[in-house]
Amino acid sequence: MPILSLNRVMTKKKNGKTLKKHNARTRQRQKSAERKYTGVFHGSSSGFGFITADAEYGDRFDADLFVPARFVKDAVTGDRVKFTLHAFDGAAEAHVSDVISRGTVTFTGTYRYIKRREGSRLTVSHVVIADDRKLCFDTLIPPKHLSDAHDGDKVLCEITTYPDTANRIPARGIILRSYGPSDRLGPNVEALLDASEIRTVFPAPVTEQADALSRRRVLSRGRLDLRGEKIFTIDGADSKDMDDAISVKRTEDGFELGVHIADVSEYVTHNSMLDEEAYLRGTSVYFADRVIPMLPPSLSNGICSLNPHVNRYALSAFLEIDHHGNIKSCRVAETVIRSAVRGVYSEVNDVLDKGNESKFYKKYAPVFDVGGLDDINALYNALCEKSRKRHAMQLDSPEVGFVTDGEGNVVDAFIRERGTAERMIEQFMLAANEGVASLLKDSGLPCVYRVHGKPDPEKLRSLSAFARVIGVDPSAIEHDDVTLYNVEKFLDEAKKKGKGEILSYMTLRCMMKARYERELSPHFGLGADCYCHFTSPIRRYPDLVVHRIIKTLLLHKKTEYCRGLFSYAEKAALRSNECEDRAVKLERDMDDLYMADLMKDRVGEEYDAVISGVTQYGFYARTGFGAEGFVRVGAVGTEYIQALSTLTVKNRPYRPGDCVRVRVAGADLSQRRIDFDLITDNGRQIL
C-alpha cells in the first residue's frame, strides 16, 4: 500500500462515494489561501453588521457586505477591519478576521447599577448602556472605575476590552466623566456634544490672538471707502455674527447689487493658529438657543461682525443685473463700510407689508427712503423671476425653533416662518455666490465650488410608485435624465391633488447631498452651472478659502501662489464636507433632544399629526409644531410594502401624508425619542 505524502489530500470510499479528508497542513494552506479584504465595519442594534469595502477594490463591491452576528468577532462600529468573503444561500457575506484600527474608543451612555438574584445568590453588576444603538452591547465597569457616577447618570465611557462574539467575551471599560442624571436636558446636551467630537472650547493661545486682533483700528487706507453708501444688514433678532450687508442702486440697464461680506481673511491669515482652529471646526453649529462658533467671539461677534455705525473691513461683490434678473458682470473689491441700519427680518417684513405706515419705517428710513425700498423690491422680483424661469427648486423643509427660559429649559416649540425679507436676502446671497463663482471660473483661478448632483434614480422610482398609489401622476419624473422642469411639473401636479406638502418632503429626500468640490460641476437644485459659497466667512470655512483666493490671485495678482491654492482648495473642500456632515448630524440630534425634553412633560396630551414615514414596525407622525414621534404596531394583521411606502394594519392603509390623531405615550431623552399612541376621535386607542 503506497504511503501518502502529508501534503496530499487523503481519500477513502464509503457507500460508493469518495470522501476527502484534509490533514492539518492542507487545512492551514487552504485557510491562508483565502483572500482578505479591508473596509469599515458598521454594527446594528441586532448584533449583525455591514462592511463598506475600501475604494481600492473598485466595482467589485457595489454595496455594503452583510456580516452575520456570529462572524462579527470583536469589531464595533467605525472599526477598520480585514474580512474574508463567503457564500450563503447564493448571497455573499463577509466574516471579520482582524481589526486593523479602532473607530470607537469612547462613547456616551447611561450607567446602571444592576442587582440580580439567582436562587439564593445576589449578584451585582455595574454597566454602561450605550446611547448609540449600533453599539449593541453593555459595557461592564469595575467598581474602582466608576468615577463617582450614580445609578441613572449620563456618562462618558472608554472601552478597555472589546466584546468578542466568537469567544463570548463581554466588553469592559472605565467611566471617564459623569454628566449628571440622564433624565435631565443639561447632561444630555453635554454628552451629545462630547459624542459629536465637535470642538467647543478655543485653546487659550487662539483666544489671545483673536483678542489682540480685535483691538486693531479699522483704517480705510488702500481700500475702496464705502462708508457714505446706503449699506445695511438684515438678520434674525438674536443674530450676533453678522457677516453680510447689502446695497441696491437703480441703473439704466437694471440694478447694481452690492453684497458686502465681512473680510475675515484680514484677521484670520493662512496657517495662523486661528486658521488652524477654523479649519478643524469647518463651520459654526447652531441649535436651540446656542451657537458653537467657528471663530472666537471677539472676532465672530466683534471686529468681523458688520455691526451698525462702526467701521468694518469687507470684501464687496458688485453685480450688474438686468431687469430680467440676469447677472451681466461681477467685480470684487476690498472695502471699508459702515452699516447704516441693523435690520431684523420681522421688522423688515412689517415694513414691506405696510410701507411708511409701519411702526418700524422710521428706523429704516436711511436706506428705504427716496425710492430705496422700491428699488430693492424690484430687484428681488427680477431675481425671483429668473429663478422661476430656470425652475430652481423651492423645497423648504420645515425648520423647528424652540422657546427657552432663562435657565435653558425648553418651554415651547414652533415652525419657523420665512417671510419676504428672508427670501429677499437669500436671493441676493445666491446671486453673489453665483457671480463670484463665475468670475473665478472665467479667470481660470481655483475655487471651492458648491455642487449638487441630480436626484437618485432608484429613489425617484420609489417616489413614482408611491405617487401613483395616492393618485398623483408621476410621469413627469419618469425619465432617464430628470430635469428641474420635470420636478417642478410633478410637484405642481401634486399640489393640484392636495398632496403637495408630503410629496415635496419626499422629493427632497430623493435629492443628492450638496457638497464642496475643487472641480466645477453644476448645482442641480439651483439650476446653476457654476456656484460657490462666498457670503458667510464668519461661520463657514469654504467661504474664507474663496476670499483668500480672490484677494491673493484676483486682487493682488500673486500668481506664484496659484498652484498651492489649487491644492489648498481641494484639501479645504474635503475637510469642509466632513465638518458639515458632523455639524448637520449634531444639529438634528439636538433638535430631537430638545423636542423630547419638551414632550416628556406632555405625556397624555393629544395632537393632530401627519404621517412622515412608515416602517414594518409602525410609522412616524409629525405634529404642527414639529414634534415627530413613532407609533408602534403589532405584527398580527400587519402588511408592509416598502416600495409603496405603505403599512396596512387590520385592512387599513397608513401612508406618508395621511392625517392621524395621536396621544403622547412617552419621551426618552437618552434616545432622543418620542412615542405616540394612535387614537380615534372619541379618544380610544386603536393600535
Residue 319 lies in a domain: yes
The helix (run of H) or strand (run of E) holding residue 376 is: helix 372-389
Rounded average pLDDT over 202-209? 97
Asked if 370 and 466 sit in the same domain, the reply is no
Q: Is the pLDDT of residue 633 over 80?
A: yes
Lowest model confidence (mean pLDDT) among 124-133, 401-410, 535-544, 643-652: 401-410
Residue 61 lies in a domain: yes
Residue 395: the pLDDT is: 63
Residue 396: the pLDDT is: 60
Which residues fall within 8 angstroms of residue 458, CB to CB, at 6 or more apart?
none
Residue 314 lies in a domain: yes
Asked if 217 and 288 sit in the same domain, the reply is yes
Mean of per-residue pLDDT scores for the chain:
90
Tens-digit pLDDT profile for residues 167-176: 788 899 999 9
Percent of the chain, pLDDT > 90?
A: 75
Residue 616 lies in a domain: yes
Q: Is the pLDDT of residue 309 over 60?
A: yes
Residue 4: the pLDDT is: 35
Query: What does the DSSP assignment read for 391-426?
Result: T--------EEEEE-TTS-EEEEEEPP--HHHHHHH
Q: Is the pLDDT of residue 35 over 70?
A: yes
Residue 687 lies in a domain: no
Q: Is the pLDDT of residue 608 over 50?
A: yes
Rounded average pLDDT over 664-678? 95
Residue 587 lies in a domain: no
Residue 577 lies in a domain: no
The helix (run of H) or strand (run of E) holding residue 506 is: helix 500-510
In angstroms, rounded to a whole number, what is the distance separating the alpha carbons of residues 505 and 510? 9
Which region, left, alpha or beta, applies to residue 11 given φ > 0 means left and ψ of -120 to 50 means alpha? beta
Domain span at 5: 1-28
Asked if 169 and 285 sit in the same domain, the reply is no
Asked if 309 and 176 sit in the same domain, the reply is no
Q: Is the pLDDT of residue 617 over 50?
A: yes
Residue where one domain finishes, among candidates 413, 444, 475 = 444
Residue where one domain finishes, among candidates 444, 470, 497 = 444
Q: How confident is the model at residue 440 (pLDDT cuts 50, 70, 90)?
A: very high
CA geometry: angle 548, 553, 554, nearest 5 deg: 95
Query: For the packed helices 372-389 and 420-442, what is the interaxial angle rounded to 10 degrees?
Result: 70
Residue 118: the pLDDT is: 67
Q: Which three cell numbers stand for residue 248?
A: 441696491
In angstroms, rounded to a whole number, what is the distance separating the alpha carbons of residues 212 and 216? 7
Residue 216: the pLDDT is: 95
Asked if 364 and 485 sit in the same domain, the reply is no
Residue 652 lies in a domain: yes
Q: How confident is the model at residue 119 (pLDDT cuts 50, 70, 90)?
A: low
Nearest Cα to Cα of residue 687 among 606, 610, 630, 633:
633
Asked if 84 and 166 sit in the same domain, the reply is no
Which residues fall within 8 angstroms of residue 39, CB to CB, at 6 or more apart?
51, 52, 53, 54, 65, 80, 81, 83, 94
Lowest model confidence (mean pLDDT) among 109-123, 128-142, 253-267, 621-635: 109-123
Asked if 482 and 373 sit in the same domain, the reply is no
Residue where one domain finishes, among candidates 386, 419, 444 = 444
Q: Is the pLDDT of residue 468 over 80?
A: yes
Q: Is the pLDDT of residue 559 over 60?
A: yes
How many independent structural domains does the chain possess?
A: 6
In angstroms, rounded to a whole number, what is the distance separating the alpha carbons of residues 541 and 314? 16
- What end-to-end distance do the CA atoms of the chain give, in Å? 75
612: CATH: 2.40.50.140
Tens-digit pLDDT profile for residues 493-536: 999 998 888 899 889 889 999 999 999 999 999 999 999 999 99
Asked if 278 and 423 sit in the same domain, the reply is yes
Asked if 411 and 500 sit in the same domain, the reply is no
